[in-house]
Structure 1
Amino acid sequence: MKNMFNEKETQTVVDRIKKLNSEAQPLWGKMSVDQMLAHCNVTYEMVYDKKHPKPNAFKRWMLKAIVKPIVVGDKPYKKNSRTAPEFIITDTKNFELEKNRLVDFINRTQRLGADHFENKASHSFGPLTNKEWNVMFYKHLDHHLNQFGV
């Protein structure tokens, strides 16, 4: 598992993103490359922006009990696994804009560092360790970059 708080390892992920072009086709799944980038940005929007409403208490309890172990666990995501409604992107997005936003979010996260994320509350799961944050950030990106062959 790459460390998204390590500059060198973060650059490896950024380099993979930069290999994408607007014509890239998925090896599985339904999303186009621009939708995939926008989908990956949702994770960071939930950290840095106020555009996604927080789940109510019942939904947060369900997310913590059922989804959190999958999201922050070491086991890779399965191909074509279900996603939360907030992460479903159906419209066409600006490829370059979404790619640049994702790189900016990744670099911002790396610069803030692991200490910033230790016990920081996530949008859906409550407080997470920096290891859990790292797994969530990297595993999701790696899954979708593999989906597009980079």
Structure 2
Amino acid sequence: MSASFLDPNAHAALVARIQTLTPDSQRQWGKMTVGQMLVHCADQLRVSRGEKAVTSLRIPGFLKPLAKWFFVTRLKSFKPNMQTLKELDSQVGMTSPTTFEADRQTLLDLLNPAKYSPSGVEHPVFGHLSHNELGEVTWKHLDHHLRQFGV
């Protein structure tokens, strides 16, 4: 089992890493600024919560278990410069950044484990994600982007 942002210890470690970011944090790869990365990660959580629609990718229901199996179960970590959904792309469809501090706080608010149902979520790409699956795939995504900025 991978780390999960829903686990209190892993959650505290992620929050501490997010808190070490500064507006001047430099990326190790990719195109996003640190502020864009905060919004990108918040948008990923908005998608998972059903608060941000995904219209750029339509996966037939019968293929969602395969996508989930690969990205949630088999993929150990995200690779630098992986393609993202249009709705999460900083150049195309991502929510516009505001200020560094406000965007960081938005991400931290969305990371509150109490906001997530023990029954999981209905994800537009993966179908039903259990509480554990949501926690693990979100942790992998956040870890990937925090490593992108050296934390």
TM over 0.5: yes
Are the counterparts in 1 of residues 59 and 125 from structure 2 also a CA contact under 8 Å? yes
What's the TM-score, normalizing by structure 1?
0.82
Write the letter of the residue equivalent to 1:38.
V
Q: Distance in 2 between matches of 1:111 and 1:10?
A: 12
Match of 2:104? 99
Q: How many aligned residue pairs are there?
A: 144
Aligned partner of residue 38 in structure 2, secondary structure: helix
Runs of 5+ unmatched residues, structure 2: none
Q: 1:54 Cα deviation (Å)?
A: 4.5
Deviations 1:93-124 (CA, angstroms, capped at 9, x unpaired): 221111110111112xx1246xx243531233
1:54 to 1:25, Cα distance in 2 relative to 1, 3 A: closer
Task: Give the structure with the higher percent helix.
Answer: 1
Correspondences of 1:1-150 after superposition (within 5 Å): 1-48=2-49, 50=51, 52-55=52-55, 59-61=58-60, 64=64, 67-73=67-73, 74-90=75-91, 93=97, 94-107=99-112, 110-112=113-115, 116-150=117-151
Aligned partner of residue 121 in structure 1, secondary structure: strand
Q: Distance in 1 between matches of 2:55 and 2:148?
A: 28
1:137 to 1:89, Cα distance in 2 relative to 1, 3 A: same
Q: 1:65 Cα deviation (Å)?
A: 5.9
Q: Distance in 2 between matches of 1:148 and 1:142?
A: 10
Runs of 5+ unmatched residues, structure 1: none
Q: 1:24 Cα deviation (Å)?
A: 0.6
Q: Distance in 2 between matches of 1:98 and 1:71?
A: 26
Q: 1:53 Cα deviation (Å)?
A: 2.7
Aligned partner of residue 58 in structure 2, secondary structure: helix
Aligned partner of residue 86 in structure 1, secondary structure: helix
Question: What is the aligned-residue RMSD (CA, Å)?
Answer: 2.5
Identity %: 31
Q: Distance in 2 between matches of 1:19 and 1:43?
A: 21
Write the letter of the residue equivalent to 1:6.
D
